[in-house]
Amino acid sequence: MDNGGMYRGKVLVAGATGKTGQWVVKRLLHYGVPVRVFSRDKDKALSLFGDRVEIVSGKIQNALDIALAVAGCDAVISTLGSSSYSGESSPADVDRDGVKRLADEAAKAGVKHFGLVSSLAVTRWYHPLNLFAGVLQKKWEAEEHVRKVFANEGRSYTIVRPGGLKDGDPLHYKLHVDTGDRLWNGFINRSDVAELLVLALWLDKAKNKTFEVVNGTQEPQTALDQYYDALPE
Ligand SMILES: NC(=O)c1ccc[n+]([C@@H]2O[C@H](COP(=O)([O-])OP(=O)(O)OC[C@H]3O[C@@H](n4cnc5c(N)ncnc54)[C@H](OP(=O)(O)O)[C@@H]3O)[C@@H](O)[C@H]2O)c1
């Protein structure tokens, strides 16, 4: 399937070897969008995606690695996420500084659109998840940076704040979307988060939006683009 000519650019996926990132790659390929992945583990990327994508290996700590990865891409989608309290996989290194560095290098390279997976509750400093090295606070700081850098000069962003992430195929649930960080709980399939980020590449109504999303009732969906219409202004 292609996207009806709506999007012709190449997309860099950072965090592509992670669970949500793999879905972003799958959905991009489903729509016929050329994909480059940025991974610190080239073998893992190769075993997951083979020759269906370009692979650039490097660390999110290294601006030069990122510059090579974003060169020639039209959009970046980040599904990066921390997994340890400190060090190179920590919230400070990945969720905040890694995403900020990625946004800066992408803007410098002329990337036009930045999609980011963030989280429900990022504005709530008192949330228990912040006991994990301030992860929500770090994500919030990254969001602010992305909004600052990508809402200007012909660029755009889409920031998706999902509830708890689950595995499973896309388009099996109605979605509930909101803005202003008012949702307290809920779950969503990673595949639906991926689909929303991919649709945002070519839907004008998704541009420069930050929103929360969780599952509603289980019900097959033909498409998810209508949920961008449902966002409060
Ligand atoms: N779990 C939840 O319920 C939940 C809820 C809301 C939001 N979120 C957020 O949603 C996002 C995606 O979650 P997920 O479950 O898909 O995460 P995941 O499977 O842990 O994937 C995270 C990705 O980040 C990459 N990464 C980590 N440190 C890196 C570094 N220093 N340099 C380069 N890449 C690095 C990992 O690479 P490797 O493959 O090499 O490890 C992996 O590809 C995360 O930001 C997460 O915090 C999660």
pLDDT tens digits, one per residue of 165-180? 999 999 999 999 999 9
pLDDT in tens, 74-122: 999 999 999 999 999 999 999 999 999 999 999 999 999 999 999 999 9
Q: Give CA–CA dist 13/162, Å, rounded.
A: 18
CB of 43 within 6 A of ligand 1: the answer is no
pLDDT at 1: 60
Q: Where are the domains of the chain?
A: 11-229
Which ligand 1 atom sits nearest the alpha carbon of residue 83?
Answer: 20
Q: Is 136 in the pocket of ligand 1 (CB under 6 A)?
A: no
- Please give the pLDDT value at position 118: 98
pTM, full prediction: 0.98
Sequence-ordered list of residues with C-beta below 8 angstroms from that of 173, at least 6 positions apart, any chain: 188, 189, 192, 215, 216, 217, 218, 219, 221
What superfamily does domain 11-229 belong to in CATH?
A: NAD(P)-binding Rossmann-like Domain (3.40.50.720)
Checking if the pLDDT of 3 tops 90, the result is no
- State whether the beta carbon of 15 lies less than 6 angstroms from ligand 1: yes
The answer, yes or no, to whether any atom of ligand 1 lies below 6 A from the CB of 162, is yes
pLDDT band at 4 (very low <50, low <70, confident <90, very high): low
CB distance 206 to 228 below 8 Å: yes
Among 100, 165, 192, say which to mutate for ligand 1: greatest number of ligand atoms within 8 Å of CB.
165
Helix intervals (H) in the chain: 19-30, 42-49, 63-70, 99-108, 135-150, 190-199, 226-229
- Does residue 23 carry a pLDDT above 70? yes
Look at ligand 1, atom 42, and give the residue with the nearest C-alpha: 18
Nearest residue (by CA) to ligand 1, atom 10, is 117
52: pLDDT confidence band, cut at 50, 70 and 90? very high
Nearest-CA neighbor of 173 among 131, 103, 137, 222? 222
